[in-house]
Structure 1
Amino acid sequence: MMEGTSAFYTGSEEAIKRQVSAVGLQTEESQIDDVYEIQHCVDWIKQAGFKRVALQFPDDLMQDAVSVTTRLEAMVPSTCKVFILGDTSYGSCCVDEVAAQHYNADAMIHYGRSCLSQPVKMSVLFVYGRLPLDVDNCVHQFSILYPDTSSHVVIVYDTVYAYACDEIKNRLRCKYENCVMSMLKTRDTNVDLPGDLTVITKCGRTLGLPAGKTLSDYTMFYIGSESLTLSNLIYNFQSNQFFSYNPSTREGRRENVNVNKILMKRYFMIEKAKDARIVGILVGTLGVANYTAILNRLKVLIEKAGKKSYVFIVGKINVAKLANFMEIDVFVVIACAENTLLDSSEFYKPVITPYEMELACNTEREWTGEYPTDFNQLLHDGSHHQAIPDTVHHEEGDVSLVTGKIRTLGYQDNNVETGTAVVLRSDAMTVATQADSAGEYLSMRSWQGLEQKLGETPVTMAVEGQKGIAMGYSDEPS
């Protein structure tokens, strides 16, 4: 057993993938049927009668895409077309329904890791795959971490190890009576739990706790490598002690993450959001259910807080893209629960979550210590919903902990007080403030992006261009 401080990941998914030793290795042909559940996929397609099925693979499984597609094409009806999606618009853990719709797909099969976000518009089958896991070693490490057999433990796991969890549960059940195995919501929705259990759903996982027990009575045991999944679980189960087993290193340890320190860093960004006058709303997903609902809620919330908002759809988010919008004070990203926790230290401006924006702008919301990362929890039927007040009075001001200046929320009155005189605000007399200058900032740029300018560009005859390569075109002297 190894004890130590876990790296707390809020960075890119690609950086985390590089740490998994099994990534990038092509699956043996003899194992393709089992790993990718070919027969299950074929039965699903035949039962529903799908005609066009898109297959989505993450980058680390793309080397198996041709083999999987070939197997499926040989087994599905001839009237069914199976094809591979090349690249995903956003995170590979999310279902890329937009790309599938571009090719008129009526269903999708999502392979590999999943953030367990619910799809919106089409039927989706999740096939998580199977990364290597030594069940004997996992059970052994569990017994070392929990020498007391009466311990109350909830087992959670990365989706790529779901195939082994029933066996692990059976091996532990005879010795640890108070051990609870979580179930993945997308795969186990139809599983019936006994009526005497308290059902809790978090992070796409369903837990059935005995009557009279709460989550605070349990510690968490996570099966998987350090990843965005682990970070997301720690955020949402921060009151619980975490232990983990890494199948790649075959080691178990206690997660000594300083959650309070991490939350203080996030709270600093909330203070920056309170100071912000111009907010950029980043649409980081088009496949998670209710993303339009949270977008509309954020626009209303930001407007009532007296701020201006602009919506950006930039595909996969990176530093270079956001650096083009220096007039934006803070960005709030709408993405799945795992990809919403970006490390803002890499960006020029803070990038926060919808919940953090709510804490900054909604005067009716107080921080209870919980930290939901799934934006669906903020909506009307969510467990962390808080109504937006009809009006936010700007008199309810406070002092910024960042700048030390007094700040206010809400609309400003039409009368502006200057010294002892009250002057009526008018367009002619108003000096443009930062919140009103984003449009002017764009108009003053030397380059404003690609513009069609239909009817403004003169029509000219096409001419033959240069031939050859950049280091030496055919019309250049040798």
Structure 2
Amino acid sequence: MTSSETSASAFSSSDTTALERQAEVEQPVTLEQIWNENHRRSCVDWIRKSGYKRVCLQFPDDYLPHSNAISVGLNELLSPEDVKVFILADTTYGSCCVDEIAAAHVDADSVIHFGNACRSRASRLPVLYLYPELPLDVNVLLDKLLSLRAESKDRQLCVYLDIGYQYLYGEQLKKQLLETLEPKELLLELFPPIEADSKTTKETTSLERICIFIGADNQRFANLSLTAPAAVQWHIYDGSSGSLSSKNPLTAQFIRRRYFHIEKCKDAQTLGLIVATLSAEGYLDVVTRLQTMAKGRGIKTQLISVGRINPAKLANFLEIDCFVLIGCPFNNMYDSKEYYKPIVSVFEAEMALNPAWHMRYPEAYVTDFKQLLPEGRSFLPFDAADIPENDVSLVSGKLRGAVNDSLQTAGDPASLALATQAKMALMTTDTGLSFEDRTWQGLDPALGQTEPAKLQQGLSGIPINYSHQ
């Protein structure tokens, strides 16, 4: 592959990318696990009850081998009705989000979403979520959990079922867990929760509780464990291997890394707001809020939408000091080790820009940006007047924010971006390249300065044989 081909591959996808990508692939599933009698009945009843005529089936990458069989099977079940079924794959941002934009290309009136789902409320189309039904030996599960009886006794116990095991939810499993672990209180919950049951998850924030996740150590567990604190650590029962393990997501190393990124966000002169969702409700409100808070601190913002992000794409924005990823709850925390500039979540940007969060240590992370809006449970009002005047960066040790503005207004030499080195050489402390400093800023439209072109007959036919040849 030539150098030009290598660079080009970073900005476009090949025909087989969706089938070869491994980032979101989880435990392999069979057709029976994702398309059994329960799934078929749910789909047909939902479509017929609402009278949908153009239905999109959205699959994650690891479900694609079964997508055609499911589409054909659904068409056969709906044969008397005039219903068109389409397959969606290789989604714009992440397979957990409903791709309403792609569905709009075929004028769909509904979406059936398979597999991993963040359950962000879709704003345009009705959605039916279908989860796999993975095998689980309940007796083996109870035997493994016996080791946690002493820890769970006389405490609040929360057991969360991952998407592959939600079909087990019911009073029978709850009774078996109560008899095995003997907790003071037992909460059996689904994750991600159904919207109607989401209030239950919000209210269970006792730090004295024991938390068990029945599923794999995946992105869903990471999201849940960060937002719902446990007494000491989380316990994970992997249904595929039958193993029980423990994990503490909020380690000291994790906290130090995230708070370092928060300080980098405070130091930024230009923030890049990456829109990684176009369907989640409230994303435009979050963009407006971030822009308002950044403006109050004298920070510039740029709005960016590049689809799935990668280091090559974001490296084009040299003038941006820090990126804020506005995505769904499962796509909001991002490890930016491979990137040139740090990437923070909306919550971390809120902690950096909103003085109301100063010296306030949250009990848990907020991954759903809607909770930071006025109607959310983690909302704190922003007041630019509360920004501290004597604000010093913990990373660079320099003054920032309102202090720099006041010094520049007074003409104080300390505001100049110059520093004297030992050899009496001058250097700038701001090494970033702003858009105005670029030698090429894109095509110049020269509006009103050129004569309009005359209309001419264009080419017709196919490239190998145009009509005029």
- The residue that corresponds to 2:244 in the other structure is 252
Q: CA deviation at 1:177?
A: 4.7
Partner AA of 2:435 in structure 1: G
Alignment of 1:74-85 (within 5 A): 74-76=76-78, 77-85=80-88
Q: CA deviation at 1:201?
A: 2.9
- The residue that corresponds to 1:353 in the other structure is 345
- The residue that corresponds to 1:200 in the other structure is 200
1:378 pairs with 2:409: no
CA gap of 1:188–1:313, structure 2 versus 1, over 3 A, is closer
Q: CA deviation at 1:362?
A: 1.1
SS of the residue 1:407 aligns to: coil
SS of the residue 1:398 aligns to: coil
CA gap of 1:390–1:418, structure 2 versus 1, over 3 A, is closer
Q: Is the 8 A contact 1:51 1:80 kept in 2?
A: yes
CA distance in 1, matches of 2:429, 2:451: 35
Partner AA of 1:385 in structure 2: F
CA gap of 1:436–1:318, structure 2 versus 1, over 3 A, is closer
CA distance in 1, matches of 2:130, 2:414: 69
CA gap of 1:163–1:304, structure 2 versus 1, over 3 A, is same
- The residue that corresponds to 1:182 in the other structure is 189
CA gap of 1:71–1:232, structure 2 versus 1, over 3 A, is same
CA distance in 1, matches of 2:89, 2:311: 24
Q: CA deviation at 1:433?
A: 11
Q: Is the 8 A contact 2:319 2:432 kept in 1?
A: no
- The residue that corresponds to 1:408 in the other structure is 401
Q: 249-258 or 449-458, which moves further after superposition?
A: 449-458
1:236 alignment partner, one of 223, 227, 232? 227
Q: TM-score, normalised by structure 2?
A: 0.80
1:417 pairs with 2:371: no
- The answer for unaligned runs of 5 or more in structure 2 is 1-20, 416-427, 465-469
SS of the residue 1:201 aligns to: helix
Q: Is the 8 A contact 1:50 1:106 kept in 2?
A: yes
Query: Residue by residue, what CA displacement relative to the aligned partner does 1:67-124 show, whole Å, maximum 9, x if unpaired?
Result: 1111111122522211111321111011111111221111111000112222222111
Q: Is the 8 A contact 1:91 1:339 kept in 2?
A: yes
1:87 pairs with 2:80: no
Q: CA deviation at 1:368?
A: 2.5
CA distance in 2, matches of 1:457, 1:335: 43
Q: Is the 8 A contact 2:159 2:213 kept in 1?
A: yes
Q: CA deviation at 1:364?
A: 2.1
1:319 pairs with 2:326: no
SS of the residue 2:307 aligns to: coil
1:143 pairs with 2:143: no
CA gap of 1:457–1:343, structure 2 versus 1, over 3 A, is farther
Alignment of 1:381-460 (within 5 A): 381-391=375-385, 396-409=389-402, 412=405, 416-419=409-412, 438-442=434-438, 444-445=439-440, 448=442
- The residue that corresponds to 1:173 in the other structure is 178
SS of the residue 1:133 aligns to: coil
Structure (1/2) with the larger helix percentage: 2
Partner AA of 1:383 in structure 2: R
Partner AA of 2:163 in structure 1: T
Partner AA of 1:233 in structure 2: L
CA distance in 1, matches of 2:189, 2:249: 22
CA distance in 2, matches of 1:261, 1:292: 33
CA distance in 1, matches of 2:151, 2:124: 47
- The residue that corresponds to 1:132 in the other structure is 135
CA distance in 2, matches of 1:103, 1:410: 54
CA gap of 1:145–1:457, structure 2 versus 1, over 3 A, is farther
Partner AA of 2:227 in structure 1: N
CA distance in 2, matches of 1:188, 1:87: 26
Q: CA deviation at 1:185?
A: 6.5
CA gap of 1:122–1:452, structure 2 versus 1, over 3 A, is farther
Partner AA of 2:270 in structure 1: I
Q: Is the 8 A contact 2:162 2:192 kept in 1?
A: no
1:116 pairs with 2:107: no
1:156 alignment partner, one of 147, 155, 160? 160
Q: CA deviation at 1:187?
A: 3.7
Q: Kindly indicate whether structure 1 or structure 2 has the higher relative contact order, using CA contacts under 8 Å at least 6 residues apart.
A: 1
Q: Is the 8 A contact 1:126 1:186 kept in 2?
A: no
SS of the residue 1:216 aligns to: coil
CA gap of 1:141–1:78, structure 2 versus 1, over 3 A, is same
Q: Is the 8 A contact 1:355 1:375 kept in 2?
A: yes
Partner AA of 1:113 in structure 2: N
CA gap of 1:361–1:420, structure 2 versus 1, over 3 A, is closer
CA gap of 1:322–1:110, structure 2 versus 1, over 3 A, is same
Q: TM-score, normalised by structure 1?
A: 0.78
CA distance in 2, matches of 1:35, 1:327: 54
Q: Is the 8 A contact 1:337 1:374 kept in 2?
A: yes
Q: CA deviation at 1:181?
A: 0.1
Q: Is the 8 A contact 1:364 1:386 kept in 2?
A: yes
Query: Residue by residue, what CA displacement relative to the aligned partner does 1:259-288 show, whole Å, maximum 9, x if unpaired?
Result: 232111100001101110000000011121
Q: 179-188 or 370-379, which moves further after superposition?
A: 179-188
1:368 pairs with 2:373: no
CA distance in 1, matches of 2:367, 2:177: 31
Q: CA deviation at 1:296?
A: 1.0
CA RMSD of aligned residues (A): 3.5
CA distance in 2, matches of 1:230, 1:63: 26
1:291 pairs with 2:291: no
1:225 alignment partner, one of 216, 222, 228? 216
1:41 pairs with 2:43: yes
Q: Identical aligned pairs, as a percentage?
A: 33
CA distance in 1, matches of 2:107, 2:220: 31
CA distance in 2, matches of 1:126, 1:37: 10
SS of the residue 1:332 aligns to: strand
Q: 355-364 or 269-278, which moves further after superposition?
A: 355-364
